[in-house]
Amino acid sequence: MTQTVSDDRPDARGTAHLDKTKLSVLLISILIVALCGIVYELIIGTVSSYLLGNSVYQFSLTIGFFMFAMGVGSHLSRYVETRLLETFIYVEMALALVGGLCSVSLFMLFPFAPWLYTAAMFGFIFIIGGLVGIEIPLLMRILSEHHGARKSIADVLSLDYIGALFGSVAFPLLLLPSLGLIASSFAIGLINVFVAFLNAVWLREHLVSAKRMIWMTVAIFAGLVVLTLSATRITSYAQHHLYFDQVVWEKQSPYQSLTVTNAWPNNDLRLFIDGHLQFSEQDEHRYHEALVHPTLGWSGVPARVLVLGGGDGMAVREILKHEGVEAIDLVDLDPQMTWLGQSFAPVVALNEGALNGPKVTVYNQDAFVFIQQTEAIYDRVIIDFPDPHNEAISKLYSQEFYALVKARLSDDGVIVTQSSSPFFARRTYWSIGETLDSMFPDVLSYQITIPSFGVWGYHMAFANAGGTLENVPDGLAALSVPVFEAAQVFPCDISKPEGIEANSIFDPSLYEAYTTDLKVAPQKGLAGCRSS
Using alpha carbons, select from 109, 140, 137, 127 the residue that is nearest to residue 40.
Answer: 127
Element (H, E) at 444: strand 442-450
Which one is catalytic: 384, 437, 493, 517?
384
Distance, in Å, from the CA atom of 450 to the CA atom of 170, rounded to the nearest integer, reads 41
CA distance 71 to 161: 16
Give the dihedral of Cα atoms 114, 116, 121, 122; nearest 10 deg.
110
Pick from 179, 184, 309: nearest CA to 253: 179
* 397, 364 Cβ separation under 8 angstroms: no
| Type of residue found at 392 | A
**Would you say 206 and 10 are in contact if contact means Cβ atoms under 8 Å apart?**
yes
* In contact, 58 and 68? CB cutoff 8 Å: no
Q: What is the largest CA-CA distance in the chain?
A: 113
Closest CA to 280 of 383, 336, 350: 350
CA atoms of 469 and 201, how far apart (whole Å):
77
CB of 393 closer than 8 Å to CB of 426: no
What are phi and psi for residue 186, nearest 5 degrees? -60, -45
Could you tell me which residues come within 8 angstroms of residue 103 by beta carbon, excluding any fewer than 6 positions away?
43, 44, 47, 181, 182, 184, 185
Amino acid at 246: Q
Beta strand 327-331 with 360-363: parallel, antiparallel or unpaired?
A: parallel
Question: What secondary structure letter does DSSP report for 298?
Answer: B
Which residues make Cβ contacts (< 8 Å) with residue 462, sequence separation at least 6? Answer: 298, 413, 414, 440, 441, 442, 443, 444
Instruction: Count the Cβ atoms, other than its own, within 10 Å of residue 250.
Output: 17
Q: What backbone torsions phi and psi does residue 413 show, to the nearest 5 degrees?
A: -70, 150
CA distance 8 to 205: 10
Paired strand residues for 269: 262
Question: Quick check: is 384 catalytic?
Answer: yes
Q: What is the dihedral of CA 218, 221, 226, 228, to 10 degrees?
A: -170
Active site residues: 384
